[in-house]
Structure 1
Amino acid sequence: MTRSAVVFAACLLLAGCGDGPLGAAEGASSVPADAPAGAAPGPDYAGDFDLAGTEPFWVGRVREGGLTLDRMEGGAVTLSNPGVRIDGEQGVWDAEAGAPTGGQGHRLVFRLTPQPCSDGMSDRVFTHAAEVWLDGTTFKGCAARPEDLARQARP
């Protein structure tokens, strides 16, 4: 037993040699690298999203070049994409365009919440619930990245 204790003590002494853990090479820093901030990374809303809703039927798209809401019976509205704002776990796009000469201005807001969602009309499972506001009218539905929806469509 004493021989085991001597071997264990020798290992501890050897591990303590040098400037760093386990005798790091000369010139190596023994100061640990900065740890990442304590906050967990936020939700990822980068890239494209497709939105859909029923009663009334509508579809929406988040693309780098713009936000589009097509109300099927009310025509499509496309505004420049202002970028996403993170609000807790939700992603919010809030776009507004003034009225062109003789036309009507619009405010379009997309709010996505990460949670499983079904549109009630198809077998697709979306990754986000969607709420859309257009000029004071609210539409509710679901959203997902186009590649997630394409994977579900494959046999």
Structure 2
Amino acid sequence: MIRSTAVFAVCLLLAGCGDGPLGAAEGAASAPADAPAGVAPGPDYAGDFDLAGTEPFWAGRVRETVLTLDRMEGGAVSLPNPGVRIDGEQGVWDAEQPGEAGAEGHRLVFRLTPQPCSDGMSDRVFSHAAEVWLDGATLKGCAARTEDLAKQGRP
């Protein structure tokens, strides 16, 4: 009885090494199973973006090495681009530069959300809504890839 059980177990183990999908021999009749579908790629925030807002007027730029915010009141702030972080469908750039002796530091955050947006002052079509935080103040506006705005004939 023990001998027949052992022979049966050995046969089962050897059957697992045959022409099945996991141990298929060359020329086997069955192909390995397809791998599970991968995770869908996330949103694409590569490249340059231009941001704009009104009341108060402001403009922002995402470039490979720098984030810039120009304000009519308060001047311009430029910080090194730390790279984008994906938060759901949103792209977030969060740059911080501590102040040096006697100088004030800044924290600049750009958050873009893919959705149609109008700045209310022009006929430009933007692909993203934009929120900008600078040192605790929030600005709202629109954003689009620089190349898409150029196709519309806009700088």
TM superposition score normalised by structure 1: 0.77
Is 1:146–2:146 an aligned residue pair?
A: yes
CA offsets 1:57-97 (integer angstroms, 9 cap, x no match): 00000111111001122110001111111111100111100
1:76 aligns with 76
CA distance in 2, matches of 1:143, 1:134: 17
Deviation at 1:105, TM superposition (A): 0.1
1:63 aligns with 63
CA distance in 2, matches of 1:72, 1:52: 12
5+ residue gaps, structure 2, are 1-19
In the TM superposition, 1:1-155 aligns within 5 A as 26=27, 30-37=31-38, 39-153=39-153
CA distance in 2, matches of 1:114, 1:123: 18
CA offsets 1:14-70 (integer angstroms, 9 cap, x no match): xxxxx99xxxx9489822453441x32211011110000000000000111111001
CA offsets 1:85-112 (integer angstroms, 9 cap, x no match): 1111100111100002221100000000
TM superposition score normalised by structure 2: 0.77
CA distance in 1, matches of 2:122, 2:152: 11
Q: Structure 1 residues 29, 147: CA separation in 2 closer, same or farther (over 3 Å shift)? A: farther
Aligned with 1:147: secondary structure? helix
Aligned with 1:153: secondary structure? coil
Q: Which amino acid aligns with 2:65?
A: G
Identity of paired residues, percent? Answer: 76
Moved more, 119-128 or 25-34: 25-34
Q: Which amino acid aligns with 1:34?
A: A
CA distance in 1, matches of 2:97, 2:30: 55
5+ residue gaps, structure 1, are 1-18
CA distance in 2, matches of 1:34, 1:40: 14
Q: Which amino acid aligns with 1:98?
A: P
CA distance in 2, matches of 1:52, 1:133: 13
CA distance in 2, matches of 1:29, 1:120: 61
CA distance in 2, matches of 1:125, 1:95: 27
CA distance in 1, matches of 2:29, 2:146: 48
